[in-house]
Amino acid sequence: MLKVADSAVPVACWSCSVAHNESTLFCPHCSKIQPPPAGDYFSVFGLQPRFHLDLAALELEFHRLSRKLHPDRFARAQKNERQWSLAGTALLNDAYRTLKDPLRRTEYVLKIAGANASVPAAPAADPPSSAATNGKEKDRSRAPAGLLEKVFDLNLQLEEMRAASDMGKEDPALKEKLAAAKMKFDSLLGAVDRDLRVQWTAWDAGDAAARLLAQQAMVVLLERRRYLSNLVRDVSDILGA
């Protein structure tokens, strides 16, 4: 996989043979496209890993790099350049898609920082012809600490509501309760997001020890968030139906 930016290794340009930094997309000497760099998603944009990002600047840089790197610019180039353009643009797009989204970005930084408790690595002992699950499946069995009671109530209400709608009945009082519960969980979600941002700041500004603490806090927060957003989605589905 990708490794954290470590870009001091010089390599020779395939076209002009002048040595350059391996993390560059284009040769600084002859401007020719280079094989896709081996750094992380941040290094694609010339950035160090961090949580707070200037999204407007990120978009501008994404557009600037796309203009230079996109396969449309290499439609008639030789085969190796075409392949590098394709691979480089895929990397650029994957990087932009991950970094522009706060949640994906948070998970990604935690992953490259080695704190991927919430994102289990691909199981090595997969039976044939089945995919590696990659941690996207949510664990619904256990409510995070401090939410247990509220969630228990909500699940009861959800069950009642489902039963009622299966019978073709409407229960306005229950509906109101659910809507109120949804608002409560929405605000809990907002609180989690605020807490996450606090940890972002702590990580971005902190030393190694502070970062480790922030990472641990974020792993817990992300788990809580995932749980809450699943609940909110379930309630929205029921209310919308």
Partner 1 sequence: MAESRIVGIDLGTTNSLVAYMDGGTPIVIPGVDGSNLVPSVVALDPMPASGGRPTVTVGNSARKSLIDTPERVIYSVKRLMGRSLREVKKELKYFPFRLAGDIEAGEVPRIQLGEMRFTPPEISAYVLRQLKRNAERFFGAPIKQAVITVPAYFNDAQRQATKDAGRMAGLEVLRLVNEPTAAALAYGLDRAKEGTIAVYDLGGGTFDISILKLRNGIFEVQSTNGDTHLGGDDIDNLLVAVALDEIHSEHGVDLSAQPGAVQALRKAAIDAKIRLSTEPAAHFDIELFNGDRYQREIPRAVFDVLIEPILARTVGPCKQAMADAGITPDQIDEVVLVGGSTRIPAVRGLVDNLFRLTPRGKKPHTDLNPDEVVALGAAVQAGILAGASPVTEEMLLLDVTPLSLGIEQLGGTVARIIQRNSTIPASATEHFTTGVEGQTSVAIHVVQGERELACDCRSLARFDLKGIPPMAAGLPRIEVRFLIDADGILQVSAREQRSGQAAQIEVKPTYGLTDDQVENMILDSFDHAEEDFAKRLLIEARNEADTILAAVDRAPQNPAWNELSAEERALIATARAQLAAVIDGENLAAVSHAIAALDQATRHFAELMMDAAVSSAIRGKTMNQAGEKLSESVTAPHDFAPAEFK
Candidate list 6, 126, 176, 193; residue touching partner 1; CB under 8 A: 126
* Residue 241 near partner 1 by CB under 8 A: no
CA-CA-CA-CA torsion sign (164, 165, 168, 172): positive
Q: How far is the CB of 214 from partner 1 (least distance, A)?
A: 27
CB of 191 to partner 1, least distance (A): 22
169 three-class SS: coil
First to last CA, the chain: 42
Q: CA dist 181 to 8, 15, 165, 186, 193, Å?
A: 53, 63, 18, 8, 18
Q: Which of 8, 78, 128, 146 binds partner 1 (CB under 8 A)?
A: 128
Q: Does 24 bind partner 1 (CB under 8 A)?
A: no
Is residue 136 at the binding interface for partner 1, with CB under 8 A as the rule?
yes
> Residue 184 has which token pair?
């409560």
Site for partner 1 contains 129 (CB under 8 A): yes
In the complex with partner 1, which residue's Cβ is closer, 36 or 49?
Answer: 36
Please give the backbone phi and psi of residue 33, each rounded to the nearest 5 degrees, phi first: -65, 145
* CB neighbour burial string for 119-138, b if at least 16 within 10 angstroms, e if fewer: eeeeeeeeeeeeeeeeeeee
Q: Decide: residue 220, CB within 10 A, 0-12 exposed, 13-18 middle, 19+ buried.
A: middle
- Contact letters (x/-) for partner 1, 187-206, by CB under 8 A? --------------------
127 is an interface residue for partner 1 by CB under 8 A: yes
Footprint (CB under 8 A) of partner 1, residues 52-111:
63, 66-67, 70-73, 75-76, 86-87, 89-91, 93-94, 96-97
Residues that bind partner 1 (CB under 8 A): 1, 63, 66-67, 70-73, 75-76, 86-87, 89-91, 93-94, 96-97, 122, 124-134, 136
